[in-house]
Structure 1
Amino acid sequence: MDRVAKIKVVVFPLSFFPLANLMIKALENNLGPDPASALTHGLGEWALIFLLLSLAISPARRLTGIGKLIRFRRMLGLFALFYAVLHLFAYLAFMLSWEWQTLLEDLYKRTYIIIGAFALSILIALGATSTKKMMKRLGKQWSQLHRLVYIAAGLAVIHFLWLVKSDYREPLIYAAVLTVLLIVRLRVVKRLVFLNR
């Protein structure tokens, strides 16, 4: 087992820690006055965190010169999908009690839910095509498809921003992080920053 594989063995179970922490708080009735909302929002926020971490892998690889970092990108992206799906199920189960009529009403009244649904749909498509077999089958189209991850991240940030009603500081921090990650992908910036890489 090489060093990267050993690190992944550690990172993989650690990635379940946010879920375990939320579940423990839920069991201890320590999620605040609105536990259903806190659990749902907590899962959604961790989906966004993992998504941004996966997007940070490529620039981190170029900055550090550690090519093997790329081997963590798919795992982090799949954890983003994992937490996003849990976010959806928590919303349906704990906030809507599986009442589909209420879901349709929410979709009509709350645009941020539609935005979130689009983001999740992209993540599902990317997760379904993340295997080496799908990479070979899609060829050049695979890279084009997986560039949609930036659109998914943008939609996720907008979803979070439109969700909050008063304190915008947290979603704006995520928006700033995503903006930086998008800027470093620009060719001109790449040439300047990674000139000697």
Structure 2
Amino acid sequence: MPTTKQISWLKGAVFVAALIPLARMAYLTLTGQLVDPLEFITRGTGDWTLYFLTITLAVTPLRKLSGWNWLIKLRRMVGLYTFFYGFLHFMTFLWFDHFFDLAEMWKDVLKRPFITVGFIAFVLLIPLALTSTNGMIKRLGGKRWQWLHRLIYVIAPLALLHFWWMKAGKHNFAQPILFIAIIGTLLLMRVWWAARKAAQ
């Protein structure tokens, strides 16, 4: 079990490392090294949202399988980075695609299914981010907080569907299939553990 100081250092390292993708996107964009900066930023922020969502879902199975209970101390930060990159992904869509025209954005959301599911997934992330503090856990109570944060099990399939439809346009199914396999496994592990607990 790492010491409190070691965990603090680890949290700091994770915090900085999680910003590297954003720094890279900003650097490549500002230095004019991209053919299509908007496409790159849109795809990049969307991909990293899914990466951090996957890592968030992996924390509990990895903790149970390894016995590294200290991993739970990193889950909140990783989950907030899921929201952070999801927010950047949404803002890229709202800003560069629609120039903050909410009416046009809403038409696009209703018209294009892959945007619809992505938008729903992002909206569902908002209450999870807002209730991520210790104070909100106390206000809601442990059980209600846990039930609310089970929205992640709705968000994950919606995010996968959004990702699938985006890649389907380019006939690129390798990545979506990989993420479906990984996230599907992580969710099935939870179902298995829940079933075993109920049977006891």
- Whether 1:74 aligns to 2:76 is yes
Corresponding letter in the other structure for 1:9: G
Instruction: Single out whichever of 3-12 and 78-87 deviates more from structure 2.
Output: 3-12
Tell me if the contact between 1:183 and 1:189 (Cα under 8 Å) persists in the aligned partners.
no
Instruction: Single out whichever of 179-188 and 51-60 deviates more from structure 2.
Output: 179-188
- Whether 1:187 aligns to 2:189 is no
**Pairwise CA distance, 1:188:** 5.1
Secondary structure of the structure 1 residue equivalent to 2:91 = helix
CA–CA distance in structure 1, aligned partners of residues 94 and 32 of structure 2: 20
| Partner residue in 2 for 1:31 | 34
| Partner residue in 2 for 1:111 | 113
Instruction: Single out whichever of 166-175 and 77-86 deviates more from structure 2.
Output: 166-175
Give a deviation string over 1:10-45, Cα, whole Å, max 9, x none: 11111100000111111122333x321221111011
| Partner residue in 2 for 1:143 | 146
Corresponding letter in the other structure for 1:70: I
**Aligned-residue CA RMSD in angstroms?**
1.7
Corresponding letter in the other structure for 2:101: E
Query: CA distance change for structure 1 residues 101 and 136 in 2, over 3 Å: closer, same or farther?
Result: closer
Structure 2 unaligned regions, length at least 5:
none
Corresponding letter in the other structure for 1:124: I
**Pairwise CA distance, 1:153:** 1.3
- Whether 1:17 aligns to 2:51 is no
**Pairwise CA distance, 1:136:** 1.5
Query: CA distance change for structure 1 residues 88 and 177 in 2, over 3 Å: closer, same or farther?
Result: same
Q: TM-score, normalised by structure 1?
A: 0.90
Tell me if the contact between 2:86 and 2:122 (Cα under 8 Å) persists in the aligned partners.
yes
CA–CA distance in structure 2, aligned partners of residues 119 and 142 of structure 1: 19
**Pairwise CA distance, 1:183:** 1.2
Tell me if the contact between 2:109 and 2:119 (Cα under 8 Å) persists in the aligned partners.
no
| Partner residue in 2 for 1:174 | 179
